Homo-oligomer: A and B are copies of this chain.
């Protein structure tokens, strides 16, 4: 069951002027479930995104990158819609997959009266199976017909795969007296080694943002959110986070990251991205605990992240949390093999929430097992490592590792 995460309330998901969303049941892998999403944008909307760095990136990722690059050329027409399907990742499908991604874009373009290059395709689901393009084409008219501005919850549901709970959130921020809306949705739930689990995120705002700043903003938001639940640069075949700025709000174009408006927008967009990324962890496959790993006092952020990931990826640490067992030596061992060659293990301190667990290379004199046990029984737990060798920090989020993770992933295709 998801850890302290419930289905978003539809009424709290605010429409973003210039965005309408339609979903359909296209029967791509299973009947009777929403598996197709069309997100259409007004004329003049700008789109930026970050994609997986996996060398085996999926056909839709290649096509989406290509279309996005074309749209950024001055004088070209912009991106008008996103097309997302679940049930099939169209990855590991070679040239056939490339044709299928283009055909899907063309089918939607025909319905929307734009060019195929103005559509960005996204797929998630099983790898190495041919995309059922005919089913997608047959499902599209239904999705286009039911497009609405207040359809964000249905959109969040339409992109779920092994997710138990839909992930969506809205934030409003007032800038120079103008209310700016930001609404985002995401999917993803495989968390034990997150570089394998497809994460898709779509965040839209009615602010008008210059294209270079929009790209910088989505990269920064990803770095503070989705990249804190995944290995640096190592992502699934299909991962993507897209940021859409429709420019419909009555606020002048924002082009400077350092301006008051730029900072306020970035903060709100990052906040939405962090909520969505944390929701993915809370809905981690089989998760029973939400674990924040905070590493402080390092000589660089990269060093802190390296240690954080060693802890967050250790199956021994994760199974100990599942068992609510304060077997904290496993955390020390993970820190030890994180690959920081000059780390003085006697200088660091390890905390479970506020409880000091280890110092001077061993168990803290003040530590009592029952205190560790008390924290371990919680559903939200913070592991804090204080390195004491610098001023840099990093925070990551992960979940525990349960029987159900194996069950879900051993039967995902059946």
Contact = CB atoms under 8 A, between A and B. Distances in A.
Contacts of A54: 333, 336-337
Contact of A333 (B236, B325, B401, B411): B236
Given A319-B406, A329-B128, A56 B345 contact: yes
A76 interface: no
Contact of A409 (B126, B316, B335): B316
A255 B346 CA distance: 40
Contacts of A337: 53-56, 195-196, 231, 234-236
B89 A336 contact: no
A289 interface: no
A128 B196 contact: no
Contacts of A259: none
Given A313-B193, A335-B56, A325 B413 contact: yes
Given A236-B333, A345-B55, A358 B403 contact: no
Interface string A389-414: 00000000000011101110111111
A413 B328 CA distance: 11
For this chain, the copies found in one complex come to 2
Contacts of A339: 233-234
Given A127-B333, A195-B337, A403-B406, A327 B413 contact: yes
A129 to B, nearest CB: 8
A361 B120 CA distance: 22
A360 interface: yes
Given A330-B127, A410-B325, A340 B55 contact: yes
Interface string A182-197: 0000000010110111
Contacts of A236: 333, 337
A294 B279 CA distance: 38
A200 to B, nearest CB: 15
B323 A411 contact: yes
A362 interface: yes
Given A55-B340, A193-B316, A337-B55, A329 B92 contact: yes
A328 B128 contact: yes
A236 B336 CA distance: 8
A313 B341 CA distance: 22
Contact of A363 (B128, B233, B406): B128
Contacts of A96: 362
Nearest to A319: B409
Contacts of A92: 328-329, 332-333, 358, 361-363
A94 B235 CA distance: 38
B319 A410 contact: yes
